[in-house]
């Protein structure tokens, strides 16, 4: 086994087709192709009324390898139609790989893709591709001009660590710009390239931004967010009413981090706000299984949409035997929180169109040890929204300031470890007698520097009776003013995926799990409280989710 572009390569498996695709644990309303391996979402875009999603895909097996850009289209980002791969190795400048990249809509309404090619000498280079026929509404075929590559690694850049161009933006000076991820020794960074014509590119002397000790920055994303309101901004907007977000996918940890800050275009620098931790330990879009994400500006609905890849938590030989691996998370709208310190994320509203029959609870008190089954519902394929009220906030246990790692804390204090206020939340994908469940819950502590510290966990440790599965207890803190004692949780449950949104999308966690008992009709959903203090379910609504047409 070796590692390439951070993906484990199993040479003996990368072209091994499963004889039959196993449907157990396949998701119903998440984006998946019918079989094989997928990873990063690429070049998502909205063009003339159609959403395009490209993604890294292995046409020959369910581990990473033989990567092409698979292509699907949609009018609602819920139902998807597959097309033939749009970009695949075919030229000297990408003969060894067509890796991740992004789309830009050029003036005159002309889309262009910039992607990383791996050339004949295994160097990572940046290439561009245009639609062959702009009057084809589906943009099926893409042409790579012979003047590619448009960027090669110059002296001082490690050509095997030089990839994943961002969407380009147009500066005040009329020059295009995009970023490419790289590292110098252990310093992760994004290099800034400029062009007048999108063909000839030159590198700005210094990186737009870098951080010591963070290693290779994969799949960077850089975009403006409005200081007020939930609407999104086109990537070239840069005025007094905006801040900027820089997101990087850290190859070292396989987690993603973002900062919120200012972009000084004339100095070619991005400076994170002092409230944004900038050392690879700061804010994350998602504290669970979520990587290589990318946003795009949806011209149709003036919002910014985030796609992320949720890999399997299963072993590679199980991926091979089930014949598929990887899903894309539900597209999320992203915007800046009122505090200006973090983003908020929420599943696109189109997902609500899949909601079928429903069940509602109101004003249910969950005393210490309380457990309420939410039924009748197809708990393996559901959308749940719940609002809790914590009446006795003063009973919260003290927070120890040495608890800096939320994931570690969730690992030590699972759903079965009694607390003061919490753990309370949901047991998703639960078997009838609770041999299996994925718990998504909160704990509230009394803080020192702030009134309350809220911890959110998505705990996979009891998710499956199968011992070989990776079962972390993911966790993140929720920056919430709890004075009214109200906190909300939404979970999208889809057979092997549990995507959860705490406090209106302040903290999000995606889990991939493989129950053996809690499958299909045998899956259950519970609300629970394992704190000494009672909490009240002010309102809970759960819906069966219908299955859209996906690929
Ligand atoms: N996946 C791609 C690379 C990228 C990595 C290769 C991130 O371009 O750096 O499949 O998952």
Nearest-CA residue for atom 5 of ligand 1: 5
> Does the annotation mark 40 as catalytic?
yes
Residue pair 441/456 in contact by the 8 Å Cβ criterion: yes
Q: Are strands 162-163 and 169-170 parallel, antiparallel or unpaired?
A: unpaired
pLDDT of residue 451: 87
Q: For residue 142, what are the β-bridge partners?
A: 131
Q: What is the pTM of this model?
A: 0.97
Residue in the structure block whose two tokens are 């753990």: 423
Residues in CB range of 377: below 8 A, 6 or more apart: 357, 359, 525, 542, 543, 544
The residue whose two tokens read 């070292």 is 252
User: In this predicted structure, what is the pLDDT of residue 200?
Assistant: 98
Which candidate in 40, 251, 298, 494 is catalytic?
A: 40
Does the Cβ of 310 fall within 6 Å of ligand 1? no
In this structure, are strands 124-131 and 50-58 parallel, antiparallel, or unpaired? unpaired
How buried is residue 93: exposed, middle or buried, by Cβ count under 10 Å (0-12/13-18/19+)? Answer: buried
CA distance 347 to 343: 13
Q: How far apart are CA 223 and CA 306, in angstroms?
A: 12
- Ligand 1 contact via 164 beta carbon (within 6 Å): yes
Q: Which CATH superfamily is domain 36-349 in?
A: Glycosyl hydrolase domain; family 43 (2.115.10.20)
Query: In the 8-state DSSP scheme, what is residue 461?
Result: T
Decide if 22 contacts 317 (C-beta within 8 A): no
Residues of the chain with pLDDT under 50: 1
* Residue-range domain boundaries for the chain: 36-349, 356-545
The answer to whether the CB of 214 is under 6 A from ligand 1 is no
Q: What does the angle CA 212 – CA 118 – CA 53 come to, to the nearest 5 degrees?
A: 85
Quote the pLDDT of residue 2: 53
Q: Is 161 in the pocket of ligand 1 (CB under 6 A)?
A: no
Q: Is the dihedral of CA 385, 548, 32, 219 positive or negative?
A: negative
The domain defined by 356-545 carries CATH number 2.60.120.560: yes
CB distance 76 to 18 below 8 Å: no
Give yes or no for a cis peptide into 383 (omega within 30° of 0).
Answer: no
Angle at 133 (CA atoms; ends 131, 139), nearest 5 degrees: 55
Structure confidence at residue 17 (pLDDT): 78
Domains 36-349 and 356-545 share a fold: no
């Amino acid at each position: 086994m070796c590692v390439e572009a951070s993906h484990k390569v199993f040479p003996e498996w990368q072209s091994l087709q499963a004889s039959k695709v196993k449907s157990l644990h396949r998701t119903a309303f998440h984006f998946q192709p019918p079989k094989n391996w997928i990873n990063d979402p690429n070049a998502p875009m909205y063009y003339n009324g159609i959403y395009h999603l490209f993604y890294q895909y292995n046409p020959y097996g369910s581990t990473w390898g033989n990567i092409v850009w698979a292509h699907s289209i949609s009018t609602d980002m819920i139902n998807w139609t597959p097309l033939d791969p749009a970009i695949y190795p075919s030229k000297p400048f990408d003969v060894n790989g067509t890796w991740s990249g992004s789309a830009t809509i050029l003036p005159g309404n002309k889309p262009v893709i910039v992607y990383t090619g791996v050339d004949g000498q295994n160097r990572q280079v940046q290439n561009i591709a245009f639609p062959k026929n702009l009057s084809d509404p589906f943009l099926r075929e893409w042409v790579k001009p012979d003047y590619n590559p448009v960027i090669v690694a110059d002296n001082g850049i490690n050509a095997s660590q030089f990839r994943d161009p961002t969407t380009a933006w147009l500066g005040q000076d009329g020059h295009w710009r995009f970023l490419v991820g790289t590292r110098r020794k252990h310093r992760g960074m994004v290099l800034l390239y400029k062009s007048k014509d999108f063909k000839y590119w030159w590198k700005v002397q210094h990186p737009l931004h870098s951080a010591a000790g963070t290693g290779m920055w994969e799949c960077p994303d850089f975009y403006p967010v409005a200081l007020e309101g939930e609407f999104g901004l086109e990537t070239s907007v840069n005025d007094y009413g905006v801040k900027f977000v820089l997101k990087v996918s850290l190859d070292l940890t396989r987690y993603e981090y973002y900062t919120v800050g200012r972009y000084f275009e004339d100095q070619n620098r991005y400076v994170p706000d002092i409230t944004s931790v900038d050392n690879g330990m700061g804010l994350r879009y998602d504290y669970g299984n979520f990587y290589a994400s990318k946003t795009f500006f949806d011209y149709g609905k003036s919002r910014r949409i985030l796609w992320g890849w949720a890999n399997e938590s299963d072993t590679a030989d199980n991926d091979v035997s089930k014949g598929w691996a990887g899903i894309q998370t539900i597209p999320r709208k992203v915007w800046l929180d009122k505090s200006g310190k973090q983003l908020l994320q929420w599943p696109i509203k189109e997902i609500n169109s899949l909601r079928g029959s429903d069940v509602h609870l109101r004003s249910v008190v969950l005393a210490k040890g309380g457990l309420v089954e939410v039924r009748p519902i197809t708990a393996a394929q559901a959308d749940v929204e719940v609002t809790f009220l914590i009446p006795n906030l003063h009973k919260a246990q003290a927070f120890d300031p040495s608890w800096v790692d939320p994931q570690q804390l969730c690992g030590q204090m699972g759903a079965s470890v009694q607390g003061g206020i919490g753990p309370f939340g949901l047991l998703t994908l639960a078997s009838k007698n609770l041999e299996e469940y994925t718990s998504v819950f909160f704990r509230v502590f009394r803080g020192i520097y702030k009134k309350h510290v809220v911890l959110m966990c998505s705990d996979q440790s009891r998710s499956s009776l199968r011992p070989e599965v990776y079962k972390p207890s993911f966790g993140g803190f929720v920056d919430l003013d709890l004075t009214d004692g109200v906190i909300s949780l939404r979970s999208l449950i889809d057979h092997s995926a549990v995507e959860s949104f705490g406090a209106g999308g302040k903290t999000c966690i995606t889990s991939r799990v493989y129950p053996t008992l809690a499958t299909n009709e045998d899956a259950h959903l519970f609300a629970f409280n394992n704190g000494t203090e009672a909490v009240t379910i002010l309102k809970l609504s759960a819906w069966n989710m219908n299955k859209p047409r996906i690929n």
